[in-house]
């Protein structure tokens, strides 16, 4: 493996400084800070001896919690927004976009919502993991570039909603951060339910891999008043009786399987409004273009899932952006060039559901 110094980056990112993170007008913050929530504690057998600090006997390890940075504007709306990132990401995914514009953290703060941006257990600043883990340094970024429907690396899909020079593309790759322990939707949703105890009533906004833990969080916390799921990647929950068969795909991630939950848990998702949103370049027929087919099955399962929720008296909606004339969105709806338009679309849905007061 060869190593290259990233020399071009500094100059390119410098050019972004002038506009990066600039609210359209200054925002006044009443309070802000961070906290951890949830998690477990492990303790080694034996008794701690202060004179033998390198001996683990009796010592503890706190881990598997979430980390959250929150901001409350003056006169905030009654529902906060709690953000849960996707795979390979941290809370950074909601902050400044790779090309230096405001992300959803700033956009929704400016709209008047308190924001709670989480790093899930075993990711980012919530790195302490009771399982431990191995950090790989295998280069696999082009896999993700393709899978996120930006284009076929190094190209862009025509009309795609990103505006990247080399510096922005680099920033996109550097926004990724690895798992520090095994991904566990149950551990994550336990911690996120604890986050909701701190945030109070909130709309839970998830992205990609965060979708599955998001459904489980709403089952575990009555503080979740609505869910906005951006391109859920897996973990659609069904009762055993109603679960669809695994969906075959040319994607190397393999067949998409439903997650099985008890009926009373599933029913909880019929008690709050839910919107699921997918972007562009997702085919309706199977294709050997694996990076697109990967999302075909996800939209197919989303359709079945939304129907199932609604058949049980729920209020779920599936929005396919191209059907609304909104074209070119990648997997990262919240940082695409039209993220302001996407935020407005989400807030319109929140207003319709009485979540925006």
Q: Which of residues 81-140 bind a second copy (CB under 8 A)?
A: 90-92, 95-96, 100, 102-103, 106, 119, 123-140
With respect to a second copy, which residue has the nearer C-beta, 200 or 244?
A: 200
Rg (CA), the chain: 21
With respect to a second copy, which residue has the nearer C-beta, 147 or 209?
A: 147
Q: Which of residues 27-46 bind a second copy (CB under 8 A)?
A: 27-45
With respect to a second copy, which residue has the nearer C-beta, 59 or 341?
A: 59
Q: Which of residues 232-271 bind a second copy (CB under 8 A)?
A: 252
Return the closest-CA partner of residue 273 out of 321, 327, 205: 205
Q: Which of residues 273-312 bind a second copy (CB under 8 A)?
A: 290-291
With respect to a second copy, which residue has the nearer C-beta, 161 or 199?
A: 199
User: Parallel, antiparallel, or unpaired: how do β-strands 273-278 and 60-63 relate?
Assistant: unpaired
Residue 57 phi, psi dihedral angles, 5° rounding = -45, 120
* Total residues binding a second copy (CB under 8 A): 104
CA distance 197 to 39: 14
With respect to a second copy, which residue has the nearer C-beta, 233 or 273?
A: 233
Cβ(83)–Cβ(210) under 8 Å?
no
- 210 belongs to the binding site for a second copy (CB under 8 A): no
CA distance 276 to 320: 8
CA distance 239 to 258: 9
Q: Which of residues 169-198 bind a second copy (CB under 8 A)?
A: 170-171, 173-178, 180-181, 194, 197-198
With respect to a second copy, which residue has the nearer C-beta, 48 or 239?
A: 48
Return the closest-CA partner of residue 308 out of 248, 234, 240, 206: 240
Minimum Å gap between C-beta 307 and a second copy is 31
Tokens of 133: 């883990």
Minimum Å gap between C-beta 70 and a second copy is 7
Distances (CA, A) of 237 to 203, 221, 253, 301: 19, 16, 19, 10
The contact pattern for a second copy, residues 43-62, with x = CB under 8 A and - = no contact, is xxx--x-xx-xx-x-xxxxx
């Amino acid at each position: 493996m060869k190593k290259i110094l990233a020399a071009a980056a500094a100059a390119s990112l410098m050019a972004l400084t002038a506009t990066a993170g600039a609210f359209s007008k200054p925002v006044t913050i009443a309070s802000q800070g961070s906290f951890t929530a949830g998690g477990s504690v492990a303790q080694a057998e034996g008794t701690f001896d202060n004179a033998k600090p390198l001996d683990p006997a009796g010592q503890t390890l706190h881990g598997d919690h979430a980390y959250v940075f929150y901001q409350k504007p003056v006169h905030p709306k009654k529902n906060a927004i709690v953000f849960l990132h996707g795979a390979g990401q941290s809370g950074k995914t909601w902050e400044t976009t790779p090309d230096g514009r405001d992300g959803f953290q700033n956009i929704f703060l400016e709209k008047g919502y308190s924001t709670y941006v989480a790093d899930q257990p075993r990711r980012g600043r919530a790195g302490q993991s009771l399982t431990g883990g191995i950090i790989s340094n295998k280069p696999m970024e082009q896999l993700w570039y393709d899978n996120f429907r930006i284009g076929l690396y190094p190209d862009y899909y025509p009309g795609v909603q990103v505006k990247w020079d080399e510096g922005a593309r680099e920033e996109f790759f550097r926004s990724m951060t690895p798992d520090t322990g095994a991904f566990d939707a149950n551990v994550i949703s336990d911690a996120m339910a604890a986050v909701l105890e701190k945030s109070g009533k909130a709309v839970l906004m998830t992205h990609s891999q965060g979708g599955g833990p998001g459904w489980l969080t709403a089952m575990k916390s009555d503080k979740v008043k609505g869910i906005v799921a951006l391109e859920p990647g897996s973990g659609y929950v069904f009762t055993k009786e109603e679960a669809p068969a695994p969906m075959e795909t040319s994607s190397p991630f393999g067949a998409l399987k439903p997650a099985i939950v008890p009926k009373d848990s599933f029913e909880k998702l019929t008690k709050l409004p839910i919107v699921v949103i997918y972007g562009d370049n997702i085919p309706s027929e199977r294709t050997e273009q694996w990076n697109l087919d990967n999302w075909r099955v996800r939209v197919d399962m989303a359709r079945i899932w939304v129907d199932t929720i609604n058949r049980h008296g729920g209020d779920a909606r599936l929005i396919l952006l191209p059907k609304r004339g909104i074209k070119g969105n990648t997997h990262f709806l919240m940082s695409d060039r039209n993220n302001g338009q996407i935020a407005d679309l989400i807030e319109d849905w929140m207003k319709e559901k009485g979540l925006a007061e």
